[in-house]
Chains A and B, each alone.
Chain A
Amino acid sequence: METLGFPFLLSVVATLVSGTFTVMILRRWWQKRKPHHLAWGIGMGLYCLGTFSQVVLATTWSPVFFGLWYWSGAIMVAAWLGQGTVFLLWRRGNIARNIMMALILVGVMTLPWTLFLTPFDSSVWYPGADMTEIYQQIMPRGSGSVRSFSPVMNTWGTIALVGGAIYSAVLFRRKQIMRNRMIGNWLIAAGGLMPALGGALIRLGDPSFKYFGEMMGAILIFAGYLMATTIPAGEEQETSQKREARKGAQSYSVE
């Protein structure tokens, strides 16, 4: 029963939320075939994989799940979630597709590196262990370690996800349209910051927020996505009217 502590519970909730979100968003991608849905679907799928590995690692030691936990949670998740925003906002040229290829390449490189070439010291693990407290001892940072990818990928992903969401929210606010999307984007930005904040606190020596941050991150991003994609019936009409009015004013000023 010791293993079923608070971190375990938070991990289970985060797994369920991110798993549901993954299925929803991948279904939407299947229907609409938009690349940002695919990127977010992969990102949330990795989120789910990371938190599920955490659940497994709370009860038993498994080098495979530890490797998957680190690879998905510390290297890939933030970058893939950020990639969805890059697809949505960076439409010039093929930049978004090129970044995605670089992401796939890093993913293909770091997965076998983490799983097969990184030595893990399992002696520090115990049932119910908080992985964020002990992972540095399990996988010490050496020269050329896979851990050197983590800060780069997380910084890039967080900037893309949170920055993109804030940019969109400010844009909707300035144009006074789609209030739902504006609030949804604020929630996504807050959700993106939660795990990043947890990660930053771990580096500063306080890992207590990490599990809570992960769970809240999944919930807030999910809520934000639901809010941003649900547009009330009247608002769509109002938005198109505002657009038309703006277009009319522009053509009037040109004439």
Chain B
Amino acid sequence: MSNNLSDRPASKSQPAVRQRRYVIAGVLALLAFLALVVLDTFRRFPQPWLYIFLLDLHYQLARLGLAVALVMAAIGVYIGIIRKGDVTPLFRSGTYIVFGTMLLQALIGVVMYTQGGRPREDVHLIYGMASVLVLPFFIFVEVTAKKRPAMGSYIWGFALLAGVLLRSIMTGS
């Protein structure tokens, strides 16, 4: 005797499809932001050389990262503390996107450093390294947590990331 429920082909649930759309929208928004920065650089400098382009990108991504970290921390507080809920897959995907952005930001910084660029204070390099490391530490805690809900990890992570980014902005330019 077969179980009718288990015989059915697994269909993608509506929330999963919606979630994927949100993730794609997030990535597209990030790409649109990068395109806007590039256009702005071309507008201000008709023939921009690589360094100015990277400098603009680095500058804008830091501010975007700070704003997004604050928004994500606020969303984390809402889901985790006010609604007492757990981490949603969408939130986790958002965290991975922010981490990817921080990685890109660090790579831009490294390229600028190799081109001879130097931050206003040397400690900017430490904050830059920390901005890449913050999220993986707390993603690890959340992913391996035996006690649920575990949204607290991301609230810590994004609050720390916002602090680190603020200091890196202050010491960078």
Contact = CB atoms under 8 A, between A and B. Distances in A.
Interface of A: 93-95, 97-98, 101-102, 104-105, 108-109, 112-113, 117, 144
Contact of A105 (B123, B134, B147): B134
Interface of B: 121-123, 125-127, 129-130, 133-134, 137-138, 140-142, 145, 147, 150, 152-153, 156, 160, 167, 171
Contacts of B150: 93-94
Contacts of A101: 137-138, 140-141, 153, 156
B34 to A, nearest CB: 27
B133 A105 contact: yes
B133 A98 contact: no
A98 B122 contact: no
B138 A117 contact: no
A93 B141 CA distance: 11
A144 B153 contact: no
Contact of A113 (B123, B133, B137, B152): B123
A95 B130 contact: no
16 contacts: A93-B147, A93-B152, A98-B138, A98-B152, A101-B138, A101-B140, A104-B137, A105-B130, A105-B133, A105-B134, A108-B133, A109-B127, A112-B129, A117-B122, A117-B123, A144-B123
The majority secondary structure among interface residues of chain B is helix
A117 B127 CA distance: 12
Contact of B126 (A93, A95, A97, A113): A113
Contacts of B126: 109, 112-113, 117
Nearest to B145: A94
- Closest 8 pairs (CB-CB, A-B): A101-B137, A98-B156, A97-B141, A109-B130, A117-B122, A113-B126, A94-B145, A109-B126
Of residues B121, B122, B137, B150, which shows the largest number of chain A Cβ atoms within 10 Å of its Cβ?
B137
A93 B149 CA distance: 8
Nearest to B139: A101
A105 B127 CA distance: 11
Contacts of B133: 105, 108
Contact of A94 (B121, B125, B134, B152): B152
A98 B171 contact: no
Contacts of A108: 129-130, 133
A227 to B, nearest CB: 31
A97 B140 CA distance: 10
A108 B164 CA distance: 13
Given A109-B126, A144-B121, A144-B123, A94 B141 contact: yes
Contact of B171 (A94, A112, A144): A144
Contacts of A102: 156, 160
Contacts of B160: 102, 105
Contacts of A105: 130, 133-134, 137, 160
Contacts of B129: 108-109, 112
